[in-house]
């Protein structure tokens, strides 16, 4: 099944489908400079956290940004044969018919859905969807749920990881897909007394720091990997505000209020008695996505990771617990990348380090040789070219195999680790 011919065929399809990719990943520095010139024009404080991008409000176009939740896109609960999993953004798309309702989709369907419904940049969407289909699917398609080698559900260690925002750690709760209400409450209550509740980047980076520490304190087999941790796990936090917030003329960057958060996270019930229903994520009515001119690209995401790291520098340190809670050992970037990245280089360009690590991991994950993988790595390289990343020739995963919780293709369920603390 996994042949060079197949890879070549699907890559040809994707590249042809997105000829404007370069335009959408225009250099961030030029944009930041232009925005800085206009900063003084800003009338209101930015709702996304002072200092975070963008420095000037993006455009807002109600007609173009309104997302339909009626007709063909009416919310329909998943049935017994529909797959749903850990990602609320993808589950919501499947529930509204923007992805196939059964939860299994092709790379192109994922890219179309996340760019058109949420305003994700084509570069980021292509990277996430392609990587998933290659490591967790049949090279062309994969599932938002599934099990090992069919979807996110079986990707613990190679795509899905620990210290997620609302879903429990695999060896702490025995499942990667279970929403832990105490984690939800912790986030929810961070805006309990706010005059205008908004789960923006400032709130989310504080919450991210708490969750990192909580995994150290409660999961004896906690692993924070280069790709699953630095990149995917960070995305799981920044995406909450960047994609789920509701954009408007007044707040073109968006406001993520309590009801919008609850709807996307499949939470119903009162503040005192919240209830989570598996797979019931929903796009609220009267909800507006990001403007196309403000697509959330890979360079944009990189600035958000650095923004998180300003106050939570630990999110850049790969490592793991040693089989007991509170036994976290950091693993050097130098060791993991066989000398390609020093710790400082990895910290100043975290998305480079993480994405290069992911690419260098591909032979080990797919069982394919470098010649067979060449077309794929070429495409992935093109997507991160805006960051000028130093490549990693080969990864040293033996440093990670010293972690008791490290393995690829774990989940969706596992035995709870001895000494795990649940709350
Ligand atoms: C093709 C695009 C996407 C892919 C491949 C993808 C994949 C994933 C994966 C693998 C995880 C597990 C991460 C972890 O272990 O923490 C995840 C979680 C998550 N994703 Fe996505 N995702 C995509 C798009 C989105 C979008 C558009 C949103 C927001 C609307 C989103 C929001 C989230 C959130 C909030 C979590 C964490 C869930 C929790 O802990 O409650 N994702 N996604």
Sequential DSSP letters for 91-131: HHHHHTTSS-TTSEEEHHHHHHHHHHHH-B-HHHHHHHHHH
What pLDDT, on a 0 to 100 scale, did the predictor assign at position 210?
A: 98
Query: In a mutational test of the pocket of ligand 1, which residue from 67, 85, 87 has the highest number of ligand atoms less than 8 Å from its CB?
Result: 87
Within 8 A by CB and 6+ apart from 235, the residues are 128, 301
Residue for token digits 């958000």? Answer: 304
Q: What is the rounded distance in angstroms from the CA atom of residue 214 to the CA atom of residue 209?
A: 9
Residues shown for the chain: 423
Three-state DSSP state, 276: strand
Percentage of residues in the chain having pLDDT higher than 70? 89
Q: What is the rounded distance in angstroms from the CA atom of residue 313 to the CA atom of residue 305?
A: 10
- pTM value > 0.85: yes
- Is any ligand 1 atom within 6 A of the Cβ of residue 86? yes
- Take atom 34 of ligand 1 and give the residue whose Cα is closest: 236
- Would you state the structure tokens that stand for residue 210, as one six-digit string? 């708490």
* Range 6-35 average pLDDT: 38
Q: What is the rounded distance in angstroms from the CA atom of residue 369 to the CA atom of residue 130?
A: 18
- Is any ligand 1 atom within 6 A of the Cβ of residue 167? yes
Q: Which residues pair with 329 in a beta bridge?
A: 320
Looking from the CA of residue 128, the nearest atom of ligand 1 is 5
* Cα torsion through 358, 360, 362, 368, rounded to 10: 170
Pick the closest to residue 177 from 191, 160, 196 (CA basis).
160
pLDDT at position 33 over 70: no
What pLDDT, on a 0 to 100 scale, did the predictor assign at position 35?
A: 52
pLDDT digits (tens, 9 = 90+) for 56-93: 899 999 999 999 999 999 999 999 999 999 999 999 99
- Is any ligand 1 atom within 6 A of the Cβ of residue 243? yes
Q: How far is CA 11 from the centre of its chain?
A: 22
- Take atom 39 of ligand 1 and give the residue whose Cα is closest: 166
What pLDDT, on a 0 to 100 scale, did the predictor assign at position 374?
A: 84
What pLDDT, on a 0 to 100 scale, did the predictor assign at position 44?
A: 57
Three-state DSSP state, 141: strand
pLDDT band of 377, cuts 50, 70, 90: confident
What pLDDT, on a 0 to 100 scale, did the predictor assign at position 34?
A: 53
Is the distance from CB of 18 to CB of 124 less than 8 angstroms?
no
End-to-end CA distance of the chain: 43
Ligand 1 centroid to residue 86 C-alpha, Å: 7
The mean pLDDT of the chain is 90
- Is any ligand 1 atom within 6 A of the Cβ of residue 241? no
Q: How far is CA 22 from the centre of its chain?
A: 22
Query: In a mutational test of the pocket of ligand 1, which residue from 133, 236, 277, 383 has the highest number of ligand atoms less than 8 Å from its CB?
Result: 236
What pLDDT, on a 0 to 100 scale, did the predictor assign at position 7?
A: 31
pLDDT band of 31, cuts 50, 70, 90: low
Query: In a mutational test of the pocket of ligand 1, which residue from 14, 88, 290 has the highest number of ligand atoms less than 8 Å from its CB?
Result: 88
Three-state DSSP state, 143: strand
* Range 189-203 average pLDDT: 96
What pLDDT, on a 0 to 100 scale, did the predictor assign at position 379?
A: 85
Residue for token digits 């205008």? Answer: 196
Looking from the CA of residue 152, the nearest atom of ligand 1 is 10
Q: What is the rounded distance in angstroms from the CA atom of residue 117 to the CA atom of residue 244?
A: 10
Is the distance from CB of 78 to CB of 95 less than 8 angstroms?
yes
- Take atom 17 of ligand 1 and give the residue whose Cα is closest: 87
- Take atom 7 of ligand 1 and give the residue whose Cα is closest: 87
What pLDDT, on a 0 to 100 scale, did the predictor assign at position 3?
A: 31
Neighbouring C-beta atoms of residue 55, cutoff 10 Å: 17
pLDDT digits (tens, 9 = 90+) for 263-309: 999 999 999 999 999 999 999 999 999 999 999 999 999 999 999 99
- Is any ligand 1 atom within 6 A of the Cβ of residue 88? yes
pLDDT digits (tens, 9 = 90+) for 314-334: 999 999 999 999 999 999 999
**Kind and range of the H or E element at 133?**
helix 122-136
pLDDT digits (tens, 9 = 90+) for 329-345: 999 999 999 999 999 99
CA angle 21/22/24 to nearest 5° reads: 65
- Take atom 16 of ligand 1 and give the residue whose Cα is closest: 164
pLDDT at position 181 over 50: yes
Sign of dihedral through CA atoms 111, 117, 122, 123? negative
- Would you state the structure tokens that stand for residue 82, as one six-digit string? 């529909």
Within 8 A by CB and 6+ apart from 129, the residues are 107, 110, 111, 114
pLDDT at position 242 over 50: yes
pLDDT digits (tens, 9 = 90+) for 114-149: 999 999 999 999 999 999 999 999 999 999 999 999
pLDDT at position 414 over 80: yes
* Range 45-51 average pLDDT: 81
Q: What is the rounded distance in angstroms from the CA atom of residue 306 to the CA atom of residue 347?
A: 8
- Is any ligand 1 atom within 6 A of the Cβ of residue 372? no
Looking from the CA of residue 167, the nearest atom of ligand 1 is 40
Is the distance from CB of 315 to CB of 234 less than 8 angstroms?
yes
What pLDDT, on a 0 to 100 scale, did the predictor assign at position 51?
A: 82
- Which has more confidence, 86 or 21? 86
Looking from the CA of residue 163, the nearest atom of ligand 1 is 16
């Amino acid at each position: 099944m996994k042949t060079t011919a197949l890879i070549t065929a699907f890559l040809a399809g994707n590249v042809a489908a997105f000829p404007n990719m370069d335009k959408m990943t225009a250099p961030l520095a030029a944009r930041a400079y232009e925005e800085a010139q206009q900063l003084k024009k800003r009338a209101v404080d930015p709702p996304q956290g002072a200092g975070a991008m963008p420095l000037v409000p993006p455009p807002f176009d109600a007609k173009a940004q309104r997302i339909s939740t009626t007709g063909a896109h009416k919310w329909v609960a998943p049935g017994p044969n529909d797959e749903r999993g850990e990602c609320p953004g993808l589950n919501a798309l499947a529930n509204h018919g923007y992805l196939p309702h059964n939860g299994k989709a092709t790379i192109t369907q994922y890219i179309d859905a996340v760019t058109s419904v949420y305003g994700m940049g084509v570069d980021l969407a292509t990277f996430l969807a392609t990587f998933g289909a290659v490591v967790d699917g049949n090279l062309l398609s994969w599932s938002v749920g599934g099990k090992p080698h069919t979807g996110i559900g079986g990707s613990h260690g190679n795509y899905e990881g620990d210290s997620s925002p609302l879903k429990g750690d695999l060896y702490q709760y025995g499942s990667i897909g279970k929403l832990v209400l105490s984690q939800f409450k912790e986030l929810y209550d961070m805006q309990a007394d706010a005059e205008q509740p908004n789960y923006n980047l400032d709130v989310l980076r504080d919450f991210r720091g708490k969750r990192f520490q909580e995994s150290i304190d409660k999961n004896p087999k906690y692993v924070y990997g280069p790709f699953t941790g630095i990149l995917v796990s960070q995305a799981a936090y920044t995406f909450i505000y960047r994609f789920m917030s509701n954009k408007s003329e007044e707040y073109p960057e968006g406001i993520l209020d309590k009801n919008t958060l609850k709807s996307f996270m499949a939470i119903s019930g009162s503040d005192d008695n919240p209830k989570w229903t598996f797979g019931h994520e929903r796009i609220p009515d009267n909800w507006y996505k990001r403007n196309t001119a403000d697509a959330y690209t890979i360079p944009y995401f990189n600035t958000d990771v650095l923004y998180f790291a300003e106050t939570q520098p630990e999110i850049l340190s790969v490592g793991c617990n040693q089989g007991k809670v509170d036994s976290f050992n950091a693993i050097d970037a130098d060791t993991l990348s066989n000398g390609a990245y020093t710790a400082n280089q990895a910290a100043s360009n975290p998305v480079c380090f993480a994405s290069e690590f992911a690419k260098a991991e591909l032979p080990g994950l797919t069982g394919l040789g470098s010649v067979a993988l060449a077309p794929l790595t070429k495409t992935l390289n093109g997507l991160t070219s805006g960051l000028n990343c130093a490549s990693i020739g080969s990864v040293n995963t033996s440093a990670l195999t010293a972690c008791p919780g490290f393995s690829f293709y774990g989940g969706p369920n596992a035995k709870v680790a001895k000494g795990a603390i649940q709350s």
